[in-house]
Amino acid sequence: MFRQLSAKYFEPISMWVIIFGIFSLCQPWILILHVYGFSIILIGLVGFIVFSHIKPLPEEEE
């Protein structure tokens, strides 16, 4: 169950966190996002590395 959730939800969420971190780092309007932009990128990167290594089991054919 967790393997399917990882491939379907957690891996794409990690990618969006990385994109949000890049946006946060490049935007000049909200200082708190700019300050923590690199940390947001690192959190997304670690999540992506972890969840991309958890592959779903192959489905059994009957």
Summarize pLDDT for 22-55 with one digit per residue, the tens: 999 998 898 888 889 999 999 999 999 988 887 7
Q: Has this prediction a pTM greater than 0.85?
A: no
Report whether 37 contacts 22 (CB < 8 A). yes
Report whether 3 contacts 43 (CB < 8 A). no
- Backbone φ and ψ for 54, nearest 5 degrees, come out as -100, 95
Query: What is the Cα–Cα distance from 18 to 53, expressed in whole angstroms?
Result: 17
pLDDT at 6 over 90: no
How many other C-beta atoms lie within 10 A of the C-beta of residue 36?
14
**Burial classification of residue 44, based on how many CB atoms lie within 10 Å of its CB (0-12 exposed, 13-18 middle, 19 or more buried):** buried
For position 31, what pLDDT does the model report? 87
Q: How confident is the model at residue 62 (pLDDT cuts 50, 70, 90)?
A: low
For position 55, what pLDDT does the model report? 76
Q: 7-21, pLDDT tens digit by residue?
A: 778 888 999 999 999
